[in-house]
Structure 1
Amino acid sequence: MGEAEEKLRPPGAELEKEAPSSPFRRRDFFLFWTAGAVDGLGTCASSLFLPLILLGAGYPAGLTGLVASVALVSGLVVSPVAGVFADRRPRKPMMYGAALVAAGAMGSVFVAVALGHVVLVHVLVAAVIEQAAGATYGAAASGTIRRLVPPGEYTRAIGYLQARDQAVQIVGPTLGGALYQLARWVPLLADAVSFLLVAVASRAIRTDLTPEREGPAPSFTRDFAEGLRFVRAEPFLRFVVVWTAGINALLGALYFHAVLASHAQDASPSSIGLILTLAGVGGLLGALAAPWLVARIPAPWIVTGASWAMVPTAAGLAFASQTWLYGLLLSAVSLTAPSVAVVLQTRAVLVTPDRLLARMGTVLGTAGQGVAALAPLAAGVLVTAYGGRAMALGCAGALAGLALYATARAGLVAREAT
């Protein structure tokens, strides 16, 4: 093999030799997948009930909500910054180091709650540290998939990661509720222990996850700007940013609309919980089916077909009147979205150089999560101003616009699929 051809070989290409049938047969991918599952379960077990702990300590709802909002924003701010460092330094130490920091933060809250000394400032600082550490772990983790599996297994590996995240969203709240019934501090202890387990699993990964760089690293500002320029200059990645941010915002608004509409109809908390459960099951099934679909259906058809399929489903939410129907319609939407996510994420990894993977991942993630964070507020304002039916029809119209955009850009997906 010539020197030029050797340089073109992507990281992890040597794994293609004697490739096993499943990414799970690769030890390091299994550890990476398991670490994410444990992390997600621990976070779900504590984050949903931390506001209840503050309320129980006598703090008003406004301050409790402020803690959650500030922590969320801190994660969004830290993520792109951490992405720069994840492309400059060894990623594995960042992963287990961030997990240890998060374990310490949540461990301190667990001790405070167990001793009955809950202080708002302490909880706020700990929540901010946990979110920042989680963003750092996520930034480093976003650059690892190319090293853990060969290109031929990207689709299945990303599908399994999607399924893992969907399963965590289903199981996590239930687990947290069960732990909270034992004692208020138990979910916090579980979260702290989960971060310790994540650190152990990340430390045990043998694959070298250090990003490829040539020459000394430029300044932080130049590295940060380079990541933004790369995403902006790559037409396919620009499409991914627009589609992902749009879907996250519109689906978040539709979820919130379903909850508000059910509450207005005096639905019980368990009935409202059924909506989220059905939606989560739909997302899990969609993620599990995604690799099979991607292997058999052209990528442009998946992106455009799924985008258009969401439009009548969203319109149906405007005329739904039963809680179970809200759940089924949202489940149908959740069933179609993962296949598109797998297609887009797989191709995003393929078009991005190894030295830019973490920055690319954090730019896309921050754009999607930042817009999604505004969805509940926007939905509440629109429902109050125009009513639930008008808001749902407006979301359907916006989804139709997004589907038109996806259809017009289908050539980009086809080009990256070749």
Structure 2
Amino acid sequence: MTGPAPALAPAAPLPHARRDLRLFWWAGTCDALGSQTSGLVLPLLLLTLGRSPGEVGALAGLSAAATLLLGPFAAVPADGGARKHLMVGSALLSAAAMAGVTVAVAVAAGPVPLAVLVAAVLVERCATSCYEAAALGTVALVCPPAEHRRVLSRLEAGERGALVLGPALGGLLFHAERWLPFLVDALSYAVAAGCIAAMRSPLAPHRAQRPPAGTVHRGLRARTAEAGAGLALIRRDPFLRLALVWISAVNALLVALYYTTVFALQNDGRGAAPLGLVLALAGAAGLAGALAAPRIAGRRPTGRVLVTVSWLMVPPAAALATARDAWHFGLLFGLLCLLTPAATVALQARIIQVIPPGLQARTGTVLATVSGAAAAVAPALAGLSADRAGAAATLMGCAALLAGLALYTTCAAPARTRHAATEPV
């Protein structure tokens, strides 16, 4: 560790902390629910409008690229004190974009122009990336360190609950009227904006901890340097480097395991119902793991939690290679989803304490961008491996990589574990 973790919040809760954390939870959960509701049906809408799979994939890739590239730059004004304004404005812009899609789909007698959908989706994705970048520092500014793990576990539980309910809700609404899922998404963004606007706690670091004033007038090179300050911090801090490797590897390998499971079920001639069973079991296990994360991790040092979870993930990942039906796949994949929240919550809580207040959004955005990019390429790599070596060999390969990650974590975490014995989480 480069030094003691900075104090990011007072030992006692701020006057409106509990109320504001509830509002923040509702904002994040509604946002996630709306995104999951419309995210499932957007490809279906494009396909029903006669668009080719190539066009659908291109739009998805373009949206992902816009999200990954814009986040680090949006984090600079968030760390500079504009966090609340950025979150509210971004949520309202996303609501307007989804409302535009709703109107376009509802009133169109024929095919909706692709340019309209592309423009709306890109606006929504860019605005969402700004919201997510600004939101990364909120917990540190509102919540005392002793409450970080509990609050983060509740936030993750809300997102996982949305992941379970959103696709089912989107499918039902799309079956009724194809514009309804987008209306729900627009309303969810409006609710999120209202919740953030109603928060009373200051959502800005102390003035001395903010980026230099006038950054926006200092040219592209200066703005790029400010956006890259989070990456510079990660390069200097051993714990943040460990966190970057662990989060990116686990996200990518879980995505690869899921897609390889899909390939295995498809090769056996299974339909959509077994895949739905796998998703349902995994989603329920992830939600249970998020709710239980504070008790599972308790006050144990972060390094110890990471090492334990890393090794526990290897056996179920390897056993996936021998699974033969949807129940086996679902239970094993669910076990992985049950284990990861404890490590994720412990890791996120420690990350919040390590990062200075004026770098919360920028450093968190780097972690999210790198892990998101790793997860984005995982399906293609899993598909390529499954085509050449088979699904079982790919699953065993993922298990071997998880074992390598566990070994790396064991070697990298001991110093962190010794120092973490007194960490205030």
TM-score of Structure 1 vs Structure 2, range by shorter chain: over 0.9
Identity across matched positions, percent: 41
Corresponding residue of 2:188: 194
Maintained 8 Å contact 1:236/1:412: no
Shift in Å, 1:18:
9.3
1:368 match: 371
| Corresponding letter in the other structure for 1:155 | R
Deviation at 1:343, TM superposition (A): 1.2
8 Å CA contact 2:293–2:345 kept in 1: the answer is yes
Distance 1:104 1:15 in 2: 39
Match of 1:249 in 2: 252
**Partner of residue 164, structure 2:** 170
RMSD over aligned CA atoms reads: 1.7
TM-score, scaled relative to structure 1: 0.94
- Is contact 2:8-2:356 (8 Å) kept? no
Give the corresponding residue for 2:54.
Answer: 62
Aligned residues: 406
Counterpart of 1:310? 313
Task: Look up the match of 1:226.
Answer: 229
Deviation at 1:60, TM superposition (A): 1.2
Alignment-mate amino acid for residue 125 of structure 2: Q
TM norm structure 2 = 0.92
Aligned: 1:15 with 2:23: no
Tell me the SS of whatever aligns to 2:81. Answer: coil
Aligned equivalent of 2:144: 150
Query: 1:314 & 1:193 partners in 2: Cα distance?
Result: 39
- Give the 5 Å matches for 1:203-222: 203-214=197-208, 216-218=213-215, 219-222=222-225
Match of 2:178 in 1: 184
Q: Which residue of 1 aligns with 2:24?
A: 32
More divergent stretch after superposition (83-92 vs 333-342): 83-92
Alpha-carbon distance in structure 1 between the residues aligned to 2:99 and 2:79: 29
Q: Does 1:342 align with 2:334?
A: no
Show the counterpart of 1:413: 416
Q: State how 1:249-328 maps to structure 2 within 5 Å.
A: 249-328=252-331
User: Which one of the candidate residues 96, 99, 103 is aligned to 1:104?
Assistant: 96
Q: Indicate conservation of the 8 Å contact 2:14/2:143, yes or no.
A: no
2-structure distance, mates of 1:167, 1:16: 27
For structure 1, the 5+ residue unaligned runs are 1-7
Please give the secondary structure, in 2, of the residue aligned with 1:46: helix
Aligned twin of 2:219:
none
Question: In 2, distance between residues paired with 1:247 and 1:10?
Answer: 29
Please say which of residues 406-415 and 267-276 is displaced more in the overlay: 406-415
Could you tell me which runs of 5 or more consecutive residues in structure 2 were left unpaired when the two chains were aligned.
216-221
In 2, are the aligned partners of 1:107 and 1:188 still within 8 Å (CA)? yes
**Is contact 2:14–2:142 with CA below 8 Å preserved after alignment?**
no
Amino acid across the alignment from 1:235: P
- For 1:325, the aligned partner's letter is H
Matched, 1:400 2:420: no
Q: Is the 8 A contact 2:72 2:228 kept in 1?
A: no
The offset of 1:335, in angstroms, is 0.8
Q: Distance in 1 between matches of 2:294 and 2:246?
A: 20
Structure 1 residues 356-415: Cα deviation after superposition (integer angstroms, max 9, x where no partner):
000111010001111001111111000001111111111111000000011011224322
Q: 1:46-80, CA deviations, whole angstroms, 9 ceiling, x for partnerless residues?
A: 11101111111111111112111211111111111
| Structure 1 residues 18 and 53, CA gap change in structure 2 (3 angstroms) | closer
Distance 1:289 1:413 in 2: 24
Question: Is residue 359 of structure 2 the alignment partner of residue 356 of structure 1?
Answer: yes
Contact 1:44 1:173 survives alignment (8 Å)? yes
Distance in 1 separating the partners of 2:118 and 2:295: 44
